[in-house]
Structure 1
Amino acid sequence: MPTFREAIEARDMDAVDALLADDAVFRSPVAFSPYPGKAITSAILRAVTEVFENFVYVREIADPGGDHALVFEAEVDGLAITGCDFLTYDEDGKIVDFMVMVRPLRAAEALAREMGARFEQIQAQALAYGEDNSASTS
C-alpha cells in the first residue's frame, strides 16, 4: 500500500481513502470546527486536489511515533500558497487526525473562497460516500 504522500502525488484518491480511518477528523485551515468522519475527510481532500494547482510536497518530517508533517507548495486562484499537512496515525496505520495549516493570508482567503464555493458538492459527495460504504458493509 502506498504512503499518503505517494497516493497524493499519484492523485490516487482511492488509495488515500484506504489510508483514512473511519473516525478520521479533518481540521481545516479556514474553518473553525473540525470535520469528523472518513466520508467528509475524503470529500474535502478530493475537492482540494481540484482547487490546488501545481501541488508538490517539498519536505516530509516524521516523528518516531509515526506521525508526519508534509510541507507543500501550490497555487490557488493564481496565488502561491505554502502549507503543511499534519497526519496522526492510529495503531493500524490509518490516519485519524488530518490538520492543515497554510500561508500567506491572501492565499488562505482564496482557498476559503474556492472550497466554500464547492462545499455543497463536498457535503453531497460525503453523504453519497457514506451511503455507498454502509451498503457495502451490510
Structure 2
Amino acid sequence: MHPFRKAVEAMDHAAVEALLAEDVVFTSPVAFRPYPGKAITAAILRAVMRVFSDFRYVREIASADGRDHALVFTAKVGDMEINGCDFLHMDEEGKIDDFMVMVRPLSAAQALSAAMGAQFDRVKAEAFGGAEASAGSAGTPADGER
C-alpha cells in the first residue's frame, strides 16, 4: 500500500503533508490553473477530507519504477456519488512532486467545485495566513477558471 493512501485512509493530515515535496504542483479537477507549493496543496487536501464522506480507495496502480501511482477512489459529496483518481509522481527523494486529480461524473464534479469553493477562504488562510488570504494570493477558483 502506498504511504499516501495509508495516510489518507488514517485521516493523518501530518503524514499526508510530510509526503509532499516543497515544490509539489497540485492540479485540481475543478480549477483551471494548478496550485504550486506544499502549503496550498496540504490545505486543499485537508479541505477535501472535510468535503468528502464515505471516501475509500478501491484500486492502486504503480509504474514499474515506483515513481508514478494512480489511486482510484469513490466518495460522496453531499448525497452525490463521485469516482476519481489521484495521480501521484514521486521525486527522487520519494516525495510527491506532482499531484493531479480527475473525477466523474460531471454532476458530482460540479458538486465538488461548489463544496470546495465554500472552503476556499479557509484553505487560503491555512496556507498563507490572514493577510495573504484576504488579498486572494492563492487564487480562489473563479467560474471562468473551472
TM-score, normalised via structure 1 length: 0.90
Task: Give 1:121's aligned amino acid.
Answer: R
Determine what percentage of the aligned residue pairs are the same residue: 65
Secondary structure at the aligned position of 2:71 is classed as: strand
In the alignment, which residue of structure 2 is the partner of 1:34? 34
Where structure 2 has 5 or more consecutive residues not aligned to the other structure, the ranges are 130-146
The one-letter code sitting in structure 2 at the alignment partner of 1:104 is: P
Are positions 1:104 and 2:84 aligned together?
no
Deviation of 1:64 after TM superposition, in Å, equals 1.3
By how many angstroms is 1:32 displaced? Answer: 0.5
Q: Spell out the pairing of 1:23-102 with structure 2 (5 A cutoff).
A: 23-66=23-66, 67-102=68-103
Query: What does residue 6 of structure 2 align with?
Result: 6
CA RMSD in angstroms comes to 0.9
What's the secondary structure of 1:33's corresponding residue?
Answer: coil
Question: Which residue number corresponds to residue 133 of structure 1?
Answer: none
- List alignment gaps of at least 5 residues for structure 1: 129-138
Name 2:16's counterpart in structure 1: 16
What's the counterpart of residue 136 of structure 1?
Answer: none
Residue type of the alignment partner of 1:21: A
Alignment-derived partner of residue 139 in structure 2: none
Separation in structure 2 between the aligned mates of residue 88 and residue 38 of structure 1, nearest angstrom: 14
1:62-113 Cα offsets, whole Å, 9 max, x none, are 0012210000000002000000000000000000000000000000000000
Aligned residues: 127
Give structure 1 regions of 4+ aligned residues with deviation exceeding 3 angstroms: none
TM-score by length of 2: 0.85
Matched, 1:125 2:133: no
Residues 22-41 of structure 1: CA deviation (Å, up to 9, x unaligned): 00010000000000000000
